[in-house]
Chain A
């Protein structure tokens, strides 16, 4: 690989296997994503889409393989990477206002002990404006609709001012109008050179929304520019039934407390 293309790569995943309780749910994923694209991850329920993102963000341990972001380890480039979890992953009854949540996007830059400053509040307000939620600034988060919650999460991610964004189902429970607003914000971001990776479920809109797609079903089926990989044959392979053999082997490994890899001296990367 030449230096020029290597600079373009924002995410490189090498031979990644992820397991829960020893049962692998993602097998040997190898991929690298270019900068400045809007990228969709698709696959059936339980395919490991959320797991893939979580393992890139260091939220679940890898059984094997490694992840490089901007040619660095995650810890060195955290400020450049942003993650929006699935909306249900938090308790929306928490005593916080919309602005409080968006300000959380600034905490990484602030560091320990420091309070948000005026500049941070202004960035947060700006991001709320971008997602059309400035009128709800003071609103308690439990009083938001699902689509509004999603936009608050998006605003929080924008407030991080990152280069690479991972979003887990930002369109779940969102009406068509909000979906359009969000997707136009996302394309604007990619035009500015950011990279946005989105878990998406609606196959109808894939070609319209995404430059690239990643097809996933317990393993990487294919990835690349939408027009190259988003076709009937590969979709059939992604959605065409569960890979019973693969999951049976996984279950066996869990039952027998089997290691994921033979013990080998740790490889330095």
Chain B
């Protein structure tokens, strides 16, 4: 608990650096990653993340500096170059884009490792912080890093804010963008540059290997929750920041824990949760929805059965036993009993010492279902020319989803019929 308070009071300047740095890194790469995701170019992040290595090593080798700014420039140049070459290869030859990405990724990374080995042989690597480029160094961010990250992040936010409309259109319909005279090439170039920048600074939080995940995962998670691109970008930024914050906390609370991998674990968990829980698209939501629909159908069938039993005897408020209901229609006994209890709570049924009776509302609801069933059967036979003995099963489903509006249209279309194809009466009020 103490560590928790220590951390979240942000009184320790080191904590402030780490938290602010992590959040800047993760949120800016999440925002740019949204467009990478929407353009279906997930692999691009991977390519850049790996292509950055030779640039970092080279600029260290040439300048002998571990100034983050110098390393970032080197990283930026090779990262950008890799995308340029990938584009050139897939645009001018028969080699497909994914093949080109694989090719460039391994060539650049291979060269990077080669140079890194040379540096390590010279014994300088440990002091240089070069390995922090490989595995991230979020836990040891200092003020100087923050200034660089802050500038880059600001640049990213600003560009996305200014070119939001153009980036969206480019991701949705590039040909159209071109025909209205947008400078598609230049905008694409800006977007590529931003992607490389996001990757280059993001790498310092999570390292080369995990960077691709950091670019795409927040966007993928956000996509589950919304159909609006602006909300999606905001959510991705929030998810990214959250993972940065929690990752920083974990490695503060347990100093042996690396920040970068934890950031990725957190964002992956968020994505996982989104996959299961998000309304509309999440799996749990769909399952719950399915079970709601099942209950809805079950309960309506109970009311319908009670109504039909009463219809035969012309006594709608007769008290009936569970077995009596089961004699008219097959139910799973457990489902029937829980349905009866639910309907009682909802005011459609009364219970007298184990006997079940329709209330006025229950009778009307049951009557409506029966009416819809028979209307639909009539519709199928008259308009779709389906044989009367084939329409029952279909109507058994449709009766549960017809809205009052469709009901009215159906009545009108069929001219308020009084009997269904089996000569059963269609009940109106």
Chain A residues at the B interface, C-beta cutoff of 8 Å: 21, 54, 57-59, 75, 78-79, 81-83, 85, 89-91, 94-97, 100-101, 104, 107-108, 110, 112-116, 140, 142, 156, 160
From known contacts A89-B175, A115-B165, infer whether A78 and B226 are also in contact, taking CB-CB under 8 Å: no
- CA gap between A79 and B181 in the complex, in Å: 8
Given the complex, which residues of B lie within 8 Å of A83, measured CB to CB?
Answer: 175-176, 179
From known contacts A95-B229, A97-B227, infer whether A107 and B178 are also in contact, taking CB-CB under 8 Å: no
From known contacts A107-B169, A113-B162, infer whether A95 and B179 are also in contact, taking CB-CB under 8 Å: no
Given the complex, which residues of B lie within 8 Å of A90, measured CB to CB?
Answer: 172-173
Q: Can you give 22 A-B contacts (C-beta < 8 A)?
A: A57-B175, A75-B181, A78-B181, A83-B175, A83-B176, A83-B179, A85-B173, A89-B173, A94-B171, A94-B229, A95-B223, A95-B226, A95-B232, A96-B229, A100-B229, A107-B169, A107-B180, A108-B180, A113-B163, A116-B165, A142-B227, A156-B176
Given the complex, which residues of B lie within 8 Å of A96, measured CB to CB?
Answer: 168, 172, 227-229
> Top 10 closest A-B pairs, CB basis?
A108-B180, A78-B181, A140-B227, A83-B179, A95-B229, A57-B179, A90-B173, A94-B172, A95-B227, A113-B162
Given the complex, which residues of A lie within 8 Å of B171, measured CB to CB?
Answer: 94
Contact A160 B223 (CB under 8 A): no
Contact string against A for B residues 170-211, beta-carbon threshold 8 Å, 1 for contact and 0 otherwise: 011101111111110000000000000000000000000000
Given the complex, which residues of B lie within 8 Å of A140, measured CB to CB?
Answer: 227
How far, in Å, is A84 (CB) from chain B's closest CB? 9
How far, in Å, is B337 (CB) from chain A's closest CB? 38
How far, in Å, is B216 (CB) from chain A's closest CB? 15
Given the complex, which residues of B lie within 8 Å of A160, measured CB to CB?
Answer: 180
Given the complex, which residues of A lie within 8 Å of B229, measured CB to CB?
Answer: 94-96, 100
In the complex, B343 has a CB within 8 A of chain A: no
User: Which residue of B has the minimal Cβ distance to A89?
Assistant: B175
User: Which residue of B has the minimal Cβ distance to A116?
Assistant: B165
- CA gap between A85 and B178 in the complex, in Å: 12
Choose among B173, B181, B227 the residue that contacts A104 (Cβ–Cβ < 8 A).
Answer: B173
User: Which residue of B has the minimal Cβ distance to A86?
Assistant: B175
The total of chain B residues at the interface (CB under 8 A) is: 27
Contact B172 A104 (CB under 8 A): yes
Contact A112 B169 (CB under 8 A): no
How far, in Å, is A185 (CB) from chain B's closest CB? 19
User: Which residue of B has the minimal Cβ distance to A143?
Assistant: B227
User: Which residue of B has the minimal Cβ distance to A90?
Assistant: B173
How far, in Å, is A88 (CB) from chain B's closest CB? 12
- CA gap between A116 and B165 in the complex, in Å: 9
In the complex, B111 has a CB within 8 A of chain A: no
- CA gap between A90 and B227 in the complex, in Å: 16
Name B's interface SS.
Answer: helix
User: Which residue of B has the minimal Cβ distance to A166?
Assistant: B179
- CA gap between A54 and B169 in the complex, in Å: 18
User: Which residue of A has the minimal Cβ distance to B183?
Assistant: A112
Given the complex, which residues of B lie within 8 Å of A142, measured CB to CB?
Answer: 227
- CA gap between A151 and B378 in the complex, in Å: 34
How far, in Å, is B155 (CB) from chain A's closest CB? 16
A96-B229, A104-B169, A116-B165 provided; 17 other pairs, C-beta below 8 A?
Answer: A59-B179, A75-B181, A78-B179, A78-B180, A79-B181, A83-B175, A85-B173, A91-B40, A94-B229, A95-B226, A104-B173, A107-B165, A108-B182, A110-B165, A113-B163, A156-B176, A160-B180
Choose among A58, A91, A110, A114 the residue that contacts B179 (Cβ–Cβ < 8 A).
Answer: A58
In the complex, B364 has a CB within 8 A of chain A: no
User: Which residue of A has the minimal Cβ distance to B178?
Assistant: A59
Given the complex, which residues of A lie within 8 Å of B145, measured CB to CB?
Answer: none
In the complex, B265 has a CB within 8 A of chain A: no
Contact B228 A97 (CB under 8 A): yes
- CA gap between A83 and B173 in the complex, in Å: 12
In the complex, B166 has a CB within 8 A of chain A: yes
- CA gap between A11 and B162 in the complex, in Å: 36
Contact A91 B172 (CB under 8 A): yes
Given the complex, which residues of A lie within 8 Å of B297, measured CB to CB?
Answer: none
In the complex, B70 has a CB within 8 A of chain A: no
In the complex, B38 has a CB within 8 A of chain A: yes
Q: Pick from B94, B168, B180, B182 the residue with the most CB of A within 10 Å.
A: B180
Given the complex, which residues of B lie within 8 Å of A113, measured CB to CB?
Answer: 162-163
How far, in Å, is A120 (CB) from chain B's closest CB? 11
How far, in Å, is B218 (CB) from chain A's closest CB? 14
Contact A85 B182 (CB under 8 A): no
How far, in Å, is B2 (CB) from chain A's closest CB? 43
Contact A95 B228 (CB under 8 A): yes
Given the complex, which residues of A lie within 8 Å of B40, measured CB to CB?
Answer: 91
Contact string against A for B residues 33-70, beta-carbon threshold 8 Å, 1 for contact and 0 otherwise: 00000101000000000000000000000000000000
Given the complex, which residues of B lie within 8 Å of A85, measured CB to CB?
Answer: 173, 175-176
How far, in Å, is B160 (CB) from chain A's closest CB? 12
- CA gap between A112 and B167 in the complex, in Å: 11
Given the complex, which residues of B lie within 8 Å of A58, measured CB to CB?
Answer: 178-179
Given the complex, which residues of A lie within 8 Å of B182, measured CB to CB?
Answer: 107-108, 112
- CA gap between A89 and B175 in the complex, in Å: 9
User: Which residue of A has the minimal Cβ distance to B177?
Assistant: A107
- CA gap between A116 and B182 in the complex, in Å: 15
How far, in Å, is A93 (CB) from chain B's closest CB? 9
- CA gap between A58 and B165 in the complex, in Å: 22
- CA gap between A82 and B176 in the complex, in Å: 9
Given the complex, which residues of A lie within 8 Å of B232, measured CB to CB?
Answer: 95
- CA gap between A94 and B176 in the complex, in Å: 15
- CA gap between A94 and B179 in the complex, in Å: 20
Given the complex, which residues of A lie within 8 Å of B223, measured CB to CB?
Answer: 95
Contact A81 B179 (CB under 8 A): yes
Contact A112 B166 (CB under 8 A): yes
How far, in Å, is B120 (CB) from chain A's closest CB? 45
- CA gap between A116 and B169 in the complex, in Å: 13
User: Which residue of B has the minimal Cβ distance to A140?
Assistant: B227
User: Which residue of B has the minimal Cβ distance to A115?
Assistant: B165
User: Which residue of A has the minimal Cβ distance to B171?
Assistant: A94
- CA gap between A54 and B176 in the complex, in Å: 11
- CA gap between A115 and B168 in the complex, in Å: 12
